[in-house]
Structure 1
């Protein structure tokens, strides 16, 4: 890993401080560059929906296609997030979308 994992934890702390300043309870990060900035996750999986949910108290959750989740476990800095892969059956479907599944996971949590 090119960057010390503590740097990612510091970035998350700064992000949460900015969230408090803006009176935000939660943040949904979807831009690949921002996912990389906060976790170190680095892969060519931006072609499918991916998102990271950040609140003030919980470990952030990084959602992505199940087949990309293993790569996230390997490239995200330890302790920066929990990685959850959504089912492959949601990819490129006309009647359902991965973000619907992600939203339901967040509601259930």
Structure 2
């Protein structure tokens, strides 16, 4: 894999640059992805990156598509929660955070 990228680099751009789909296929693996990765894996017969269905104003999701989205979200949730705990400042018992700022008073101060 590559090194860090600027924060403005979108995930799908980084995935394309790093040839993630090809690496997954070579390893015989798959991935669940959010809707930001729609269009990443264009091989309809051998998809390895599974995304949900996206609704538009003109096209609402069917009950089956909504169910599929819930199943994909349930599979992604534990991973997303794990990433959240790795971020600096994430809420965890062992995180080193700065103490909260003292409360401010909105009432007029008297000298």
Q: TM-score, normalised by structure 1?
A: 0.28
Q: Which has the higher helix share?
A: 1
- Structure scoring higher RCO (CA < 8 A, sep ≥ 6) equals 1
Q: TM-score, normalised by structure 2?
A: 0.28
